[in-house]
Amino acid sequence: MNRTELRFALQLIGFLDSVEDFEDGLVKLRERRWLVWHPDVMAALFRHDRELHHPPSRTLSPLLGNRSVLWLDGEEHTAYRRTLAPMLRANRYQALIDEMVERSIAELPSGDPVGLATWTRKLTLRIIGRIVFGVADDELLTAFSRWLDRRLGSRVRTLAHRYLTPGTTRFDPHLDQMLLHRAKTAEPPALAACLPPEDLRDQVVSLLFAGHETTASATAWTVYWIDRTPGLAEQLLTDDRLLDATIAESLRLSPPAALAGNRMSDDGMVITPSIYLAHRRAATYDNPHVFDPTRKPPPPGGFFPFGGGVRHCPGKELALLEIRTIVTALLRHRRISLTAPRSCTPQLRGAAMAPPPSLAMVATCRR
312 binding ligand HEM? (CB under 6 A): yes
42 binding ligand HEM? (CB under 6 A): no
Beta bridge partners of 259: 274
- Whether the CB-CB separation of 255 and 275 falls below 8 Å is answered with yes
Among 57, 218, 224, residue whose Cα is nearest residue 152: 57
Residue number, 70 or 117, with CB nearest to ligand HEM: 70
User: Given candidates 129, 308, 350, 355, which one binds ligand HEM under the rule CB under 6 A?
Assistant: 308
97 binding ligand HEM? (CB under 6 A): no
Q: Which stretch binds ligand HEM (CB under 6 A): 99-107, 255-263, 288-296, 329-337?
A: 255-263
CB of 261 to ligand HEM, least distance (A): 3
Q: Where would I find the H helices in 155-314?
A: 155-163, 173-184, 200-210, 213-228, 232-236, 240-253, 275-278
Residue number, 6 or 135, with CB nearest to ligand HEM: 135
CB of 75 to ligand HEM, least distance (A): 13
Rounded distance, CA 146 to CA 182, Å?
18
Give the 3-state secondary structure of 43-93: HHHHHCHHHCECCCCCCCHHHHCCCCCCCCCHHHHHHHHHHHHHHCCHHHH
Contacts of 222 by beta carbon, 8 Å cutoff, 6+ apart: 246, 247, 250, 323, 327
**At CA 228, angle to CA 222 and CA 232, rounded to 5?**
75
Reduced to 3 states, what is the DSSP secondary structure of residue 286? Answer: coil
- Whether the CB-CB separation of 303 and 249 falls below 8 Å is answered with no
Within 93-183, strands assigned E span 113-115
- Whether the CB-CB separation of 211 and 315 falls below 8 Å is answered with yes
Amino acid at 180: L
User: Given candidates 129, 134, 302, 307, which one binds ligand HEM under the rule CB under 6 A?
Assistant: 307
How many residues at the interface with ligand HEM, by CB under 6 A? Answer: 27
260 binding ligand HEM? (CB under 6 A): yes
Q: Which stretch binds ligand HEM (CB under 6 A): 108-116, 168-176, 293-301, 312-320?
A: 312-320
311 binding ligand HEM? (CB under 6 A): yes
Binding residues among 192-251 for ligand HEM as defined by CB under 6 A: 207, 210-211, 214-215, 218
315 binding ligand HEM? (CB under 6 A): yes
CB of 308 to ligand HEM, least distance (A): 5
314 binding ligand HEM? (CB under 6 A): yes
39 binding ligand HEM? (CB under 6 A): no
Residue number, 246 or 362, with CB nearest to ligand HEM: 246
Residue number, 115 or 256, with CB nearest to ligand HEM: 256
Q: Which residues contact ligand HEM by CB under 6 A? A: 69-70, 81, 88, 128, 207, 210-211, 214-215, 218, 256-257, 260-261, 305-309, 311-315, 318-319
